[in-house]
Amino acid sequence: MSNPEHTPSDMSPEERMREDLRKAADAAGGDFEKLAQLSKDITDTYEKTYGAPTTTPKAPSIETPQTTKPTEAAPQKNARIQDNFQKLQSLTNLESVKQQFEARKKRLNKNSTKEPASSTSQSIQQNTIHALNQVVNEIENKKNQLPNVGTERMVAARTVKDYTDRLVELEQQGADPVRIEKMRKHIETLKTMHSIQTPDIKSEKSTASNEPILDDDARMQQSKDIVHKTIEDAAAKALADIDAQTNALLKKTPDYLRTAPEKTPAALVAEARAKYLEEYEKSFKNKSSFTRSILNFTHASGILRKDKSLSKEARAAKDTYEQLKNNLEEDMRARLEKQNKSPEQIEKIMKRYRNVATGLEQIEKESGILNKARAEAFAVEGNKNLALVYNKTLGWYSKKFTPQQRKAISLGIAVGAGFMTGGMSTAMVGAMRVVGGALGGKIAEKVGNALWKQGVGGSYEKRLEQLKKDYMAGTITPSEYQQRKEGLELLNNRAEALKTTGVLAAGFGSAAGIGQIPDTAIESLFSNSAEAAVVAPPAPEDIIEVYEDKTYKGSGETPTATTQTETATSPATETTAPAPKTDSFVPANESIEGKTFDPLPQENAPAKPGIPELATAENVTLPVELDSSLLSDADIEQMIAQEQGVVVEQAPETPVISESTPEALDLSPEQVEQLMNEELGITEAPQPEAPAVPAPTVAPEPILELDPEPELAIPKENPTDILEQPVIEPAPEPAPVIPETPITVPEPSFEADTELGLETAPLDPQTEKLALLNQYFGKHDFVMGDYLDPKVWTPQVQDADAGIFLRSPQDAVPEQYKAFHTDLKALTLKYNIAVEGRRIDDVLTALAEAMIAEQAK
């Protein structure tokens, strides 16, 4: 240890301390720890001897580079912290950028698989994805490098930097070469260990000290530049492609779209049409009414091709209109092609559109002229008040009706007016009523009433006749015929419903508008709805009509019917007969003469799977070749039984009423009623000779007579027929004629109702059930058959198959049956019979069986 006594006396204490420090440094050589310790001892000694120096001697930073920071290292430390912070921030930013790129990549990949893109678009996407991949990889590389910079390597680099600085300083001070060499070796060792590359230590200080950090920063910046450049390049390329595509599209875009992009082609056509009609009407303003009528007709019919009678303005307006209309049609055609429709389909659609559009245009012309004439007449007559009102009304109309209302109203009109083949269910009407409001429904109601009364709207038979003609003329294929016929039947069923349910929206009341109809009412309608249209009770006159036309004459749609045969075999009849109204399926102007045709398809051919249960008796007449999907469970079980050799009685003595049975067509209603009664086991007179039919071994479930199962082959078109027949009155004599479920019934233990003539035992199961039901319900002063009459029920309680559902025993019950329903409810509760959604006959059957089972116990 140095001693102050050995210091020259002429030196100040501070100078002596420095000298001691220098000697100690020389003694320590390259040993930094030893040097640090000697330095500390000397400083302490001098402080104790002379007190704290006024200025602290500068301690060599080389002494403790890791632990003791040199005074000039403070800003360097801050700089290092700042550098590290920036690097970490860059790392975070890079991660964020990477995530964004990954997300964009996903979107691009998704888009590329969603829809076929153009080649240019695909190229853009591929390039962008490739660029993004590069960026993401670069980011990953940077991420892998950054941790080394921030940890050991960075510390080592800092140490190298500090030592190098000190080394340069010592060299400049002319320090001991041995010491300098030791420090140089130490620095080189650090550099080698941590792979730190720096310029030659002897080079310029600034370069040597900043190089490692600058290198990392530069590389970081380089990465960022790559990212930015990649993004910019991709974006620029995408923008350029988009611009190119846009320009290409613009070149193809018609002028009318470029000049008024905010208007749709249809709107432009509508505007042009309105302008044309306006000018058209003006052209007729100064002509007499007779001349106007003639000119109007000639223009409409195309006789006047050059429109010489039109004003110049009207001709110009017409030209514009025609041009826009053509453009619109081209646009429509392009859209249809995009939908992958075949040329035939497109042609058919376009033809239909042209027909409708031309027809409407003609009416619009007539209407416009008529309105002009009216206005003029008011003015001429001097009835200014009326003219004012007239104009006010037109103004009110144009302002009051929104496009949505007009659309909804037109749907109501379309249905009510019989634009459609027949009509529609009340569910549809309800829906339109809600959308279109009261007016649409009211118009529909008015229109429907008027047209149905006059037989204009329905015209089912005429349409069917036309359909047959079309088929026979070869304009439609057999399958098309069959399909359309089924559609007609479906619609006709709805028409029947329409006729008798107060016509369209009337059921909702004229005051009902948007929001005034209870949601539950709409929901209940929809629940029955389009798939199972509500069939309503026909009005008395309609019942007669349906009774005659549908049930016994094949409802007109049966090709085996007389009219069909005549039509098929007598072309002369076709040409001489009055032209039937053409339906919406086939253009009226297609001739059928001279064309050959195939025989009509069999009427009892299987129905299309898509046609719901509203299809008619064909569905329940079961030929062997029928698709099994059309068979009921009972049918299938019966067929299985037959295959197994089990004889299933078909009551051969009972004629089956079927449309496809020619004999049946000649039966009078009375005869049929009698046959049905026999079929149903309801006979008016005692039939002692009627043997009990052996019970079939296969009968899936007990079926009351009123259940219109397929075996009965009763046409379903007229639910009334079905429902009116099965009067659940006990037969005066047991007359079991229908094979029935082999329920082993013990001897009835209940008191027989002598008044009903049920004392004769044993009773067959059906009779027993009926008797039992009457025992409980007979006290009610109505006949069960009346109760089952659908006329007394609201449509909601009935189903399309003409059954009566019991949603709840108290639900929508007519007043006169409420007491009965109370009893029924009590009994169903007592015997735990489910009623929700079941048909009344099913419920009664189940109830009777439960009662019988209980009595058997």
Partner 1 sequence: MNPTLQKEILDTLGIYDLPEEQQNDILERITDLVMQDIITTAVERLPADTIDDYTNLIDANPEPDAVFTFFEQHVPDFDTVVHSAVTSVAEVFRK
Q: Which of the residues 442 through 471 are near partner 1 (CB under 8 A)?
A: 442-443, 446-447, 449-451, 454, 456
Per CB under 8 A, the list member of 91, 316, 435, 667 interacting with partner 1 is: 435
Per CB under 8 A, the list member of 52, 109, 419, 527 interacting with partner 1 is: 419
| Binding status of residue 359 toward partner 1 by CB under 8 A | yes
**β-pair type (838-839, 805-806):** antiparallel
Report the distance separating Cα 381 and Cα 292, nearest Å. 20
Report the distance separating Cα 548 and Cα 541, nearest Å. 11
Q: Which long-range contacts (CB under 8 A, 24 or more apart) does 163-169 make?
A: 163/62, 163/65, 163/187, 163/190, 164/198, 164/201, 164/208, 164/209, 165/205, 165/209, 166/60, 166/61, 166/62, 166/65, 167/201, 168/201, 168/205, 168/208
At 627, the amino acid letter reads D
Report the distance separating Cα 44 and Cα 40, nearest Å. 6
Per CB under 8 A, the list member of 408, 735, 758, 804 interacting with partner 1 is: 408
Of 413 and 723, CB closest to partner 1: 413
As a whole number of Å, the end-to-end CA separation of the chain is 125
CB of 440 to partner 1, least distance (A): 9
| Binding status of residue 424 toward partner 1 by CB under 8 A | yes
CB of 495 to partner 1, least distance (A): 12
Of 397 and 750, CB closest to partner 1: 397
Of 158 and 273, CB closest to partner 1: 273
User: Beta-carbon neighbour count of residue 386 at 10 Å?
Assistant: 15
Q: Is the peptide bond before 662 cis (omega within 30 degrees of 0)?
A: no
Of 295 and 431, CB closest to partner 1: 431
Of 7 and 582, CB closest to partner 1: 582
Backbone torsions φ then ψ of 12, nearest 5 degrees: -70, 160
- 401: tokens are 């009706």
CB of 618 to partner 1, least distance (A): 22
Per CB under 8 A, the list member of 108, 414, 698, 819 interacting with partner 1 is: 414
Exposure class string for 135-168: b at 16+ Cβ within 10 A, else e: bbebbeebeeebeebbeebbebbbbbbbbbbbbb
Backbone torsions φ then ψ of 97, nearest 5 degrees: -60, -40
Which residues from 728-767 bind partner 1, rule CB under 8 A?
none
| Binding status of residue 527 toward partner 1 by CB under 8 A | no
CB of 414 to partner 1, least distance (A): 6
Closest CA to 536 of 486, 490, 499, 491: 499
Question: What would the x/- binding string for partner 1 be over residues 335 to 354, using CB under 8 A?
Answer: xx----x---x---x--xx-
Of 588 and 853, CB closest to partner 1: 588
Of 277 and 771, CB closest to partner 1: 277
Of 342 and 697, CB closest to partner 1: 342
Helix 343-380 vs helix 312-338: crossing angle, to nearest 10: 150
| Binding status of residue 561 toward partner 1 by CB under 8 A | no
Contact by Cβ (8 Å): 528, 799: yes
| Binding status of residue 357 toward partner 1 by CB under 8 A | yes
Per CB under 8 A, the list member of 17, 208, 314, 411 interacting with partner 1 is: 411
Helix 152-173 vs helix 73-114: crossing angle, to nearest 10: 140
Closest CA to 433 of 457, 453, 469, 408: 408
CB of 453 to partner 1, least distance (A): 8
Of 414 and 812, CB closest to partner 1: 414
User: Beta-carbon neighbour count of residue 686 at 10 Å?
Assistant: 13
CB of 287 to partner 1, least distance (A): 21
Stretch that binds partner 1, among 123-131, 369-377, 676-684, 756-764 (CB under 8 A): 369-377
- Distances from the Cα of 507 to the Cαs of 437, 444, 500, 510, 512, in angstroms? 14, 12, 11, 8, 10
- 444: tokens are 């529909």
| Binding status of residue 410 toward partner 1 by CB under 8 A | yes
Stretch that binds partner 1, among 142-150, 166-174, 327-335, 560-568 (CB under 8 A): 327-335
CB of 324 to partner 1, least distance (A): 12
CA angle 537, 420, 616 (to 5 degrees): 50
- 132: tokens are 């993004």
Of 285 and 352, CB closest to partner 1: 352
Non-local (6+) Cβ contacts of 192 within 8 A are: none
Size, binding site for partner 1 by CB under 8 A: 89
Per CB under 8 A, the list member of 367, 570, 575, 760 interacting with partner 1 is: 367
Of 583 and 842, CB closest to partner 1: 583
| Binding status of residue 511 toward partner 1 by CB under 8 A | yes
* Longest distance between any two alpha carbons in the chain, whole Å: 162
Per CB under 8 A, the list member of 356, 379, 636, 761 interacting with partner 1 is: 356
| Binding status of residue 852 toward partner 1 by CB under 8 A | no
- Distances from the Cα of 367 to the Cαs of 171, 176, 356, 358, 374, in angstroms? 111, 118, 16, 14, 10
Contact by Cβ (8 Å): 767, 750: no
Per CB under 8 A, the list member of 374, 384, 779, 830 interacting with partner 1 is: 374
Q: Where are the alpha helices (DSSP H) in 644-714?
A: 662-665, 669-680
Question: What would the x/- binding string for partner 1 be over residues 465 to 504, using CB under 8 A?
Answer: --------------------------x-------------
Per CB under 8 A, the list member of 74, 88, 250, 363 interacting with partner 1 is: 363
* Residue corresponding to tokens 């040199």: 70
Report the distance separating Cα 285 and Cα 379, nearest Å. 13
Which residues from 110-129 bind partner 1, rule CB under 8 A?
none
CB of 648 to partner 1, least distance (A): 40
| Binding status of residue 407 toward partner 1 by CB under 8 A | yes
Of 200 and 344, CB closest to partner 1: 344
Which residues from 376-405 bind partner 1, rule CB under 8 A?
385-386, 388-390, 392-394, 396-397, 399-401, 403, 405
Question: What would the x/- binding string for partner 1 be over residues 569 to 608, using CB under 8 A?
Answer: ------------xxxxx-xx--------------------
Which residues from 48-67 bind partner 1, rule CB under 8 A?
none
Of 8 and 515, CB closest to partner 1: 515
**Percent composition of the chain: helix, strand, coil (DSSP 3-state, to 5):** 65, 0, 35
Q: Which long-range contacts (CB under 8 A, 24 or more apart) does 218-224 make?
A: 219/142, 219/145, 220/87, 220/90, 220/142, 223/94, 223/138, 223/139, 223/141, 223/142, 224/90
Per CB under 8 A, the list member of 417, 535, 657, 728 interacting with partner 1 is: 417
Stretch that binds partner 1, among 33-41, 214-222, 435-443, 816-824 (CB under 8 A): 435-443
| Binding status of residue 229 toward partner 1 by CB under 8 A | no
Stretch that binds partner 1, among 13-21, 236-244, 434-442, 726-734 (CB under 8 A): 434-442
Non-local (6+) Cβ contacts of 157 within 8 A are: 194, 196, 212, 213
Per CB under 8 A, the list member of 60, 70, 212, 437 interacting with partner 1 is: 437
Of 215 and 329, CB closest to partner 1: 329
Of 346 and 698, CB closest to partner 1: 346
Exposed / middle / buried, residue 580 (Cβ in 10 Å: 0-12, 13-18, 19+): middle
Of 13 and 509, CB closest to partner 1: 509
- 497: tokens are 């419903």
Contact by Cβ (8 Å): 414, 432: no
| Binding status of residue 420 toward partner 1 by CB under 8 A | yes
| Binding status of residue 406 toward partner 1 by CB under 8 A | yes
